[in-house]
Amino acid sequence: MKQAKDFILTGNRVLPSGCHLMTFVAADGAKLPPIEPGQFVQVRIDNSPKAFLRRPISICDVRYDTELVLFVKPQGEGTQRLVELPENAMTNIMLPLGHGFTCQDSRGGKVLLVGGGVGAAPLVALSRRLSAVGADVTVAIGGRSALDVEGVDALYAGSVSRILVSTDDGSYGHEGVVTCLPEFDEVFDRIYCCGPTPMMKAVARIAREKGIWCEVSLENHMACGIGACLCCVENTSDRGNVCVCTEGPVFNINRLQSWE
């Protein structure tokens, strides 16, 4: 059940890319509600007249049932104010929102997770969940340069079989886009993906060509997070136009009408 409650910032680590790994705990000391990998939160931005709407942020990880970890890239007024919060600051967070990744059928399978930029964030919790059920997990992370990916790969340490990295300019890992990694020639049982739309569509094409089950986490613009504003509508093959914030953000690629 989603709820809005106050949280206290307990950690704010800056990665080389300028993204922030922010850790929150409930102000009342309560445990977090059940959260599925791929779900997101809506964070209230205080003391900013330009950011009167909450900001949607993917849930990166959950620790000890009490710590909420968000991966935040400062891109505008709202997210910039968020990453500038001092330690022990309080903010209000609505969670958990949306539908996450399908994990239960990946037990014992060979799985590929593909993340681009901040899209790598929701795959962290997913990697832990899949590894816990016995899946053989490979993570592939792509970015424009070393600044986009350095430090991100460390978030998966200890929970996956392989961590692969590519950069467009070759400054870190394999040179080229993430789908050029030679491991994409392997056969996987499932593929999960989050990142820029062109990257996700490229991964989806590969999955379709090989007949591999595939889910993607869409990054449509969201305002309310609860399906009221209709900002994030996506056309699906089975239900027509749906709100990504409530029906997704995770979709099987076969449901996305415009991706066929």
Phi-psi region of 98 (alpha: psi -120 to 50; beta: other; left: phi over 0): left
Instruction: Say yes or no to pLDDT of 126 above 70.
Output: yes
- Strand-pair category, 136-143 with 162-167: parallel
Instruction: Say yes or no to pLDDT of 172 above 80.
Output: yes
Mean of the per-residue pLDDT values of the chain: 92
pLDDT of residue 259: 79
pLDDT of residue 35: 95
pLDDT of residue 110: 94
pLDDT in tens, 87-115: 999 999 999 999 999 987 767 789 999 99
Instruction: Say yes or no to pLDDT of 80 above 80.
Output: yes
Question: Which of 39-43, 81-85, 113-117, 256-260 bottoms out in mean pLDDT, i.e. has the lowest?
Answer: 256-260
Cα 183 to Cα 92: distance, rounded to the nearest angstrom: 42
